[in-house]
Amino acid sequence: MTSMTISEKILAKHADQPSVQPDDLVEVRIDFALGNDITAPLAIDAFRRSGAKHVFDPERIALIPDHFAPNKDIASATQIKALREFAREQQLPHFYEVGRMGIEHALLPELGLVLPGDVVIGADSHTCTYGALGAFATGVGSTDLAAAMITGKIWFKVPPSIKFVFYGKRRPWFGGKDLILYAIGQIGVDGAHYAAMEFTGQVIDSLPMADRFTISNMAIEAGAKAGIIAPDEITAEYVKDRAKRPYEFYQSDRDAAYSSIYEWDVSNLEPMVALPHSPENVRPVTELPEIPIDQVVVGSCTNGRLEDLRQAAAVLKGKKVAPHVRCIIIPATQRIYRQAMREGLFEIFLEAEAAVSTPTCGPCLGGHMGILAAGERAVATTNRNFIGRMGHVESEVYLSNPAVAAASAILGRIAHPDEVR
Amino acid sequence: MKIKGKAWKFEDDIDTDAIIPARYLNTIDPKILAAHCMEDADPSFAGSVKPGDIIVAGKNFGCGSSREHAPIAIKGAGVGCVIAQSFARIFYRNSFNMGLPILECPAAAASIQSGDELEIDLDTGVIVNHSRHQEYRAHPVPPFMQELLKVGGLMAYVGERLRQEGAQ
């Protein structure tokens, strides 16, 4: 038997081949496909122009208006209406709107719609998030989504795999976000160009699913095709009550081939911040000069999960957001929203004078709900800090974990959570 | 197929937010998208680019989001081809699906400057720089991608297969 990585095994299985190797061109069956209010309108347009009448399987497609939802303007409302009409016409059960929705990459795992061993494609670059479940998941364009909605298949070039081994003992406040920012800082925004990043080691083994989702989510920020974590007991515990169809756990063979292997001891690492205007521009928060800020955003498909909100709340408890700072907290799904409310997190946020929003991607991509003016600076738990990403081209975004974002909101400058007393 | 035009030079890691900012993604109209093409990298671009002009960039062009609006905006602006040292994965794939010619050519990306007069032969991958009297050879387009281009992009490919299955 040929030795394979977890990514190669999943692709081989879905291509009905005994094995695959990097650079092979394969056509694979997909288990699930998704689109959002920005990308699905183009896919629906291509679907209609193709002459196709039906999607391959209505149960395996999700349409989720989350980027400019709740409808930010008339044009956005029109796009979302197109999704709604297509979902109704094709009788798609997985169409989730305001009141039922969530940010796609938080919602689909939460609902058990994407599962270990799956091949998932999404017309959204952060589709790689589901790699945390041990799935091969990757972002594609709208036309690829249209073709997959019709045929249930997609062609891939099998990517080489790069292995990342994290070992040592994490310091307080150092989590999944810091691990992935550190990795991107080390290898650069094209350091994993076209490759599958595979995250392993004792540090990964001990991380809860929330942190694993954050890590896989940002694989695209290193140019990767996928960011995968082999499933274990923690994965099993997460999926067992959510899955409504069979799933499979794959592991890389011991002697599987990697194009490169990185091994990092995290024991002495501090929480990380990515400075403007690139996710590779990473520094430990402790090494930054005084950087005053205007806004903090805690949320997004990267860090809008319950565990992230708990971290922010732990820092914000009994404190006030600095007078000149806006702090916006966005639970990623309705379920997270309700649970945060039940746990009393909203009381902490509101007491701290932070604003709590309904789920949306909103400010992460400069859509709505927290746009920056020229010269303004934000700390955000999101995934990109490109020029103009959150608003004006002369605004700045600093990426961090939720605890650093909360500490920064309180002190009005980028701060380590330990600085909050 | 031949393309002739003036070069517009951009740096490394031009992301899709620079190619078409998210604030314009509430439409799929190619004309509106084209009017804002490259706006956050060079605000003068969309107003001055001429049909057939060529974008030349460094490594990792088109990194970031999966938005197909990026190649649509570039194509809509009349750009004949994008040459880069390398392309981000999703952008590469989207460009073929959209029928936007793109070429990977590190030598061309390094030598060409803004304003250079270029002539590209897409069939051979040869890029001639008339301003500098240089010639560069791009990485050949992978055979499968050539086949996609030949049938007219991914949807034409899928449509053809649907017709074949219908005929069976």
Q: Which DSSP string do the residues of A64-86 spell out, in sequence order?
A: E--SSTTT-SHHHHHHHHHHHHH
CA distance A334 to A99: 7
A76 interfaces chain B, CB cutoff of 8 Å: yes
Taking an 8 Å cut-off on Cβ atoms, the answer to whether A189 and B94 are in contact is no
A198 neighbors A228 (Cβ within 8 angstroms): yes
Which residue of chain A is at minimal alpha-carbon distance from B18? A387
Name the residue facing A140 among B27, B66, B158 (closest C-beta): B66
Q: What is the pLDDT of residue A205?
A: 98
Indicate the angle between helix axes A40-50 and A74-89, nearest 10 degrees: 50
The residues near A391 (Cβ < 8 Å, ≥ 6 apart) are: A366, A371, A372, A373, A376
- Nearest CB partner across the interface for B66, out of A73, A125, A384: A125
Spatial contact of B60 and A193, defined as CB atoms under 8 Å apart: yes
Tokens encoding B71 = 């190649």
Angle subtended at Cα A66 by Cα B92 and Cα B28, rounded to the nearest 5 degrees: 50
Between the alpha carbon of residue A196 and those of residues A3, A288, A324, the distances in Å are 16, 32, 42
Question: What pLDDT does residue B143 have?
Answer: 78
Say how far apart CA B141 and CA B125 lie, in whole Å: 8
Task: Indicate yes or no: CB of A150 within 8 angstroms of CB of B162.
Answer: yes
Q: Which amino acid is at B11?
A: E
> Rounded to an integer, what distance in angstroms lies between the CA atom of residue A114 and that of residue A367?
27
User: Taking the alpha carbons of A192, A198, A202, A203 in that order, is the dihedral positive or negative?
Assistant: positive
pLDDT at B168: 55
Quote the DSSP letter at residue A275. Answer: P
A257-270 core/surface letters (b: 16 or more CB in 10 A; e: else): bbeeeeebebeebb
> For residue A346, what are its two tokens?
């909203």
Is A116:A231 a contact under the CB 8 Å cutoff? Answer: yes
Give CA–CA dist A387/B5, Å, rounded. 28
- In this prediction, residue A421 has a pLDDT band, given cuts at 50, 70 and 90, of confident
Tell me what the pLDDT averaged over chain A comes to.
97
Residue of chain B minimizing CA distance to A190: B60
Return the bridge partners of A32, or none: A120
Mean pLDDT of A92-120: 98
What pLDDT band is residue A225 in, cutting at 50, 70 and 90? very high
Residue A345: name the closest of A308, A290, A400, A390 by CA: A308
With bands split at pLDDT 50, 70 and 90, how would you rate the model's confidence at A313? very high
A45 contact residues in B (CB cutoff 8 A):
28
Contact yes or no for A45 and B69 at CB 8 A: no
- Measured between CA atoms, the residue of chain B closest to residue A41 is B28
Contacts of residue A79 in chain B, CB cutoff 8 Å?
A: 26-28
Nearest to A212 by CA among A273, A278, A272, A135: A135
Q: How confident is the model at residue A413 (pLDDT cuts 50, 70, 90)?
A: very high
Closest Cα partner for A200 from A188, A185, A186, A183?
Answer: A183
pLDDT tens digit sequence for A340-392: 999 999 999 999 999 999 999 999 999 999 999 999 999 999 999 999 999 99
Task: End-to-end CA distance of chain A: give it in Å, rounded.
Answer: 58
pLDDT of residue B154: 86
Number of C-beta neighbours around residue A291 at 10 A: 15
Longest CA–CA span in chain A (Å) reads 64
Eight-state DSSP code of residue B139: P
Closest residue of A to B156, CA-based?
A: A50
Residues of B with CB under 8 A from a CB of A: 13, 15, 17-18, 21-23, 25-28, 40-41, 59-60, 63-69, 72, 86, 88-90, 93-94, 97-98, 144, 153-155, 157-159, 161-162
CB–CB contact B26 A25 (8 Å):
no
Spatial distance between the Cα atoms of A252 and A324, rounded to a whole number of angstroms: 50
> How high is the pLDDT of residue A103?
98
pLDDT at site A113: 98
Q: Does A50 touch chain B (CB under 8 A)?
A: yes
Token pair belonging to B2: 């031949």
Residues of chain B with pLDDT under 70: 167-168
Q: Where are the alpha helices (DSSP H) in B4-153?
A: 16-19, 30-35, 45-48, 69-76, 89-98, 106-111, 143-151
Contact of B66 with B92, CB cutoff 8 Å? no
Nearest-angstrom CA–CA distance, B5 and B17: 25
Determine whether the interchain pair B18/A68 forms a contact, defined as Cβ–Cβ distance below 8 Å: no
Token look-up 């394979």 returns A4
pLDDT at position A55 over 90: yes
Determine the residue among B33, B68, B86, B141 to mutate to test chain A binding: the one whose Cβ has the most chain A Cβ atoms within 10 Å.
Answer: B68
Long-range CB pairs of A84-90 (<8 Å, 24+ gap) are A86/A40, A86/A44, A86/A47, A87/A63, A90/A54, A90/A55, A90/A58, A90/A61
For range A244-255, the mean pLDDT: 98
